A = this chain, B = another copy of it.
Amino acid sequence: MSYNRHELIALLRRHGIAPTHQRLEIANVLFSRCEHLAADQILTLVNERHAETSKATVYNTLNLFRDCGLIREVIVDPKRVFYDPNTEPHHHLYNIDTGEITDIPANDLAVSGLPELPPGMVTEGVDIVVRVRTL
């Protein structure tokens, strides 16, 4: 799940996103590690060598990537949104002590007994969060 510059450009183009400098930097940070990062962490990482990307751009870009299905939002911490470069169907393990987030593949996971949806509604997704604590 690590990409070189050309692959990143292709990835963005495939999603209809113009590959600018800043977007490539942000995409690189996201896809070069398989972690769940918050906007402020991404802002720090992107500007680690040379400050060249603003806060506004980081937020714009993350929202854009999310809208284009390139990344997913993970909402487990009321303080901040995390971004997940893994768009395969999966769920999350959330350690409420450390804040650590781990993926749970959706493969052999099944939910039974969900009620019928009210008419005129479509399911957008089912998110499962297993909240754990260090003993």
**A residues adjacent to B (C-beta < 8 A):** 73, 75-78, 80-81, 93, 95-96, 104, 107-115, 117, 120-135
B124 and A111: CB pair below 8 A? Answer: no
Complex CA distance for A81 and B135, rounded to whole angstroms = 26
Beyond A120-B134, A121-B135, A128-B129, list 14 extra A-B contacts (CB 8 Å).
Answer: A93-B117, A109-B111, A110-B112, A120-B135, A121-B132, A121-B134, A123-B132, A124-B131, A124-B132, A126-B130, A127-B128, A127-B129, A127-B131, A128-B128
Complex CA distance for A96 and B111, rounded to whole angstroms = 21
Least Cβ–Cβ distance between A104 and chain B, in angstroms: 6
A133 and B129: CB pair below 8 A? Answer: no
Complex CA distance for A95 and B117, rounded to whole angstroms = 11
A109 and B109: CB pair below 8 A? Answer: no
Sorted nearest first, the 9 A-B pairs with minimum C-beta distance are A109-B113, A108-B113, A124-B131, A121-B132, A127-B129, A78-B81, A124-B133, A125-B131, A110-B112
Chain B residues with CB under 8 Å of A107's CB are 113
B133 and A122: CB pair below 8 A? Answer: yes
Q: In the complex where A123-B130, A124-B132, A127-B129 touch, is A112 in contact with B114 (Cβ < 8 A)?
A: no
